[in-house]
Structure formats: structure tokens, C-alpha cells
Amino acid sequence: MTVDAETLLSAFQRGTTDLIEEKQLQGMIARSLETGTPLRIKFGMDPSSPDLHLGHAVQLRKLRDLQDLGCQIVLIVGDATAMVGDPSGKSKLRPVLTREEVEHNLRTYTDQAGRVLDMEKTEVRRNSEWFDAMGFEELLKLTTRMTVAQMLEREMFQTRMKNEEPIGINEFLYPLMQGWDSVMVKSDVELGGTDQLFNLLVGRRLQEQEEQRPQIVMTQPLINGLDGRKMSKSYGNAVGLTADAKEMTFRIMQVDDEVMPTWLLHLTRLSLEEIEQTLALHPREAKARLAAQVTGFYHGAEAAAEAAGAFDREVRDKVLPDDLPRVSWQASWGEELPLANLLKEMGLCQSTSEARRAIKQGGVKLAGEAERDERAAIGRPPGELLVQVGKKRAAHLVP
């Protein structure tokens, strides 16, 4: 495929918050196309947790766009920096991870990144490659590259000092380590979230000190999750990259209307005109198109269509799914069990008190009939019994 400068520059610009310096980037693109030498695009991933979600995919999709246009993606797996911990966006001192914890998380990272990137064309580097070989004297020299005053210019550190929250010396090391990665791989461009701007600029500074051409700094926004807060697995508002087509579609259909413009821009490759047309639709139709685009990218159009059909049947039309779990009556239950206890044992309620509330409110059905007696007891069924709690939780009880 023949790529021109305008197409490549547009790929860099789409959905980008910071592009430092764009004029310098234009010159680098021209030289790259003239010489046939691909631009080296650096992206760091610290394996600080085992799973990636669509928030991480914002940068991964951008990298794939640039990879398809001939750029060389350099994926830094931060097995050394993960033990230090990135302070970006953190209001408290982070616990230091062990090498074993990092290795456990790292095993899944490249596999998950491979759902977006062409890993055969991706240069993968562990930064322990150079940090493990660094002696104490070299580490001391690295710490002289920046002053404490320069570190404290960072707004996040200022906020923590104001709130009398501790700042670890290791947290000062992190930006220097990330910046040194850029020196070691001679990156032309580094991509990160907007919370990474300080760290990315440190890389640019260190490259200049090493008489390398300073990298272009490119940031993209952090997207919010299903509930409008920052996407995080701990909030329960994330959509995992490893989610199957049905789970991915069902969760995307729950997204707040307010985040739709951002998700359409960063998680799909619809044109700006197509995004405007989508946002003009009824919110449910717009979300269905978003889900089709995102799920289709990870699982294919056919699987996305099947998942959309399942959503329509089970949520819109209130038809129970075909693959309801089957729970066998346990010998330890005896011949009879209070209904509240049964609902807990079947995994349909988290506690007996929750189960009793659901029964009292008329949310529990046995074979399609509501059961409102919270003291009711259920015996071993003679055949298969459909047990429902609310509209979304159900299972077959079998003898």
C-alpha cells in the first residue's frame, strides 16, 4: 500500500490531545517516506494488573492504525518500571510489586495486545533488559538528569503535598526510567494517555541530553467507563479485551449516553461524518452501532451480529437465554430447603437477606409464578424447575 504524508499525519492527529511538536513530526514523516525508514513508535505497558480493557485499547487501536501505515511499533513491556509503580493519576503511594507478581501479570499482556496489534510486526522489549544491567553508579547518573524542583512541578505531586499524602523516592525514579526507555530504543514518537504527558516529556528531555533527535510526544484522553467514571476494573465499569462477543455487546449497550461521542471517536474507525450521523440516532440505536463496531473488531461481524440478536431477545424482548445454568439439587440440602437459602445456594442471590428482600418484593418466580412468601420452603423438584430472580438472573433447578 502506498502511503502519503497527509494520510499518515491524519492518522497521528485523529483523537489526539497533545502532539509535541507537530511541525517536527511533519518533517519526520517526510524523511521517513523519502528514505523508506519507518518511524519508531514507542508505547509502554506496565504489567501492574493481569487484564486489559477497552480503556487500554484506545492507544492500541492508534498503534494498529500507524502499524498498518508502515510505522514500526516498539512495545515496551515494563517489567522493571512495574515494580516501581507509575504515580501518574495516583493520589496515594502505590505498593511496590514483586518480580513474581509482575511476571504473573506479564504472561497475559502480549496475548491481549495481540488482539489489536500484529505481533509479528511488533518489536517487543522488556525494559529489565537495560535496567537489570545498570550498576549503582549508572543509576546515580540517571538521577542527576532532573532536580527535585523539576519533579515537583508535576501537578499530581503538588496536590499530594497539599493534602499531606506521602510521595516515595521511587516515584521520582519512574519518569526517569520511562524516559530512559526512549533513549534505549531510539523512539521517534511516544504515545500515552493524557496522564502520561509529564513522563513522555522527560523522555524527550533525556534524548536531547544524549544528543538523539527528541521524540514526538502524542497523548490521547483516558476514556470513561460504563457509568461515566474513569474506566477501571475495580469500579466494575470496564469492558475487558478478553470478553466474549456476547458479554462485550451486552456491556457496551449499558454505556452512559454522555460517553458515546468519545467512545465512537476512539474505539471505532467510523469517519467524523459517520459519528455525527450515529449520534443523531436514538440512543439505543447509536449504542447498537457502537457495539457492532467494537465487538466486530475483536470477534468479527458474524459474532457481533449474533450477540446483538441475543441482546434484543433477552433484554429488549425479555426472552430468557437458551444457555441458562443448570443447578443440581445437592444431597446436603436434604429433602427441603428454605427458598431464601436455595436462592443463595444457586448463586442467584449473594445472601439470604438479599433473597428474602427479592421474594418480599415479588421478584422471585418459580416456573413462571411469583412467590411472595419469604418463609417458603422448597422441596426437591420432581423435574426441571425454572427459578428466576428479577429480569436478569435465572437458572434451572434439576433433581
Return the CATH number at 107. 3.40.50.620
Q: What is the pLDDT of residue 293?
A: 96
Q: What is the pLDDT of residue 85?
A: 61
Contact status, residue 167 vs residue 20, Cβ threshold 8 Å: no
Among residues 270, 295, 316, the one where a domain terminates is 316
Same domain, 34 and 107: yes
Q: Is 55 helix (H, G, I), strand (E, B) or coil?
A: helix
**What is the value of pTM for the model shown?**
0.75
In whole angstroms, give the CA distance from residue 198 to residue 104: 28
Q: Is residue 381 part of a domain?
A: yes
Q: Is residue 173 part of a domain?
A: yes
Helices (H) and strands (E) in the chain, counts: 18, 13
Contact status, residue 226 vs residue 261, Cβ threshold 8 Å: no
Same domain, 286 and 243: yes
Same domain, 61 and 148: yes
Q: What is the pLDDT of residue 95?
A: 61
User: Grid coordinates in use for 267?
Assistant: 474505539
Same domain, 389 and 247: no
Cis peptide before 21 (omega within 30 of 0): yes
Same domain, 81 and 169: yes
Q: Of 73, 56, 8, 54, nearest to 34 (Cα)?
A: 8
**C-alpha distance across the termini of the chain, in Å:** 62
Q: What is the pLDDT along the chain (399 residues), one digit of tens a residue?
A: 688 999 999 999 999 999 999 999 999 999 999 999 999 999 998 776 667 889 989 999 999 999 999 999 999 988 887 777 655 555 455 566 677 777 777 777 888 888 999 999 999 998 999 999 998 999 899 999 888 888 888 877 888 888 888 888 878 888 899 999 999 999 999 999 998 899 999 999 999 999 999 999 999 998 988 888 888 877 778 898 989 999 999 999 988 888 999 999 999 999 999 999 999 998 889 999 999 999 999 999 999 999 998 888 777 766 667 678 888 989 888 888 899 999 998 888 888 888 888 888 888 888 778 888 888 888 888 777 888 888 778 888 888
The answer for residues whose C-beta is within 8 angstroms of residue 127's C-beta and 6 or more apart is: 44, 76, 77, 78, 79, 80, 81, 177, 181, 184
Q: Is residue 177 part of a domain?
A: yes
Phi, psi for residue 366 in degrees, rounded to 5: -115, 115
| Domain CATH number, residue 282 | 1.10.240.10
Q: Label residues 199-234 b or e (16+ Cβ within 10 Å = b).
A: bbbbbbbbbeeeeeebbbbbbbebbbbbeeeebeee
Q: Are strands 336-338 and 377-379 parallel, antiparallel or unpaired?
A: antiparallel
Same domain, 301 and 208: no
| Cβ neighbours around 169 below 10 Å, total | 8
Same domain, 206 and 341: no
Q: Is residue 228 part of a domain?
A: no
User: Grid coordinates in use for 269?
Assistant: 474507525
Q: Label residues 110-121 b or e (16+ Cβ within 10 Å = b).
A: bebbeebbeeee
Q: Is residue 225 part of a domain?
A: no
Same domain, 310 and 356: no
Phi, psi for residue 250 in degrees, rounded to 5: -60, -40
Q: Find where cell 495516583 sits.
A: 90
Same domain, 197 and 82: yes
Torsion of CA 143, 45, 88, 256, to 10 degrees: 170
In whole angstroms, give the CA distance from residue 66 to residue 156: 31
Same domain, 169 and 249: no
Q: Domain limits at 366?
A: 326-398
| Cβ neighbours around 304 below 10 Å, total | 22
Same domain, 51 and 149: yes
User: Grid coordinates in use for 239?
Assistant: 469492558
DSSP letter at 53 equals: B
In whole angstroms, give the CA distance from residue 264 to residue 236: 21
Q: Of 292, 393, 299, nearest to 347 (Cα)?
A: 393
| Domain CATH number, residue 386 | 3.10.290.10
Among residues 316, 343, 376, the one where a domain terminates is 316
DSSP string for 218-241: EEEPPPB-TTSSBP-GGGT---BT
Q: Is residue 321 part of a domain?
A: no
Among residues 290, 316, 342, the one where a domain terminates is 316
User: Grid coordinates in use for 138?
Assistant: 549508572
- The number of distinct structural domains making up the chain is 3
Q: Is residue 226 part of a domain?
A: no
Q: Of 43, 14, 47, 41, nearest to 28 (Cα)?
A: 41
Same domain, 80 and 215: yes
User: Grid coordinates in use for 260?
Assistant: 458515546
Q: Is residue 232 part of a domain?
A: no
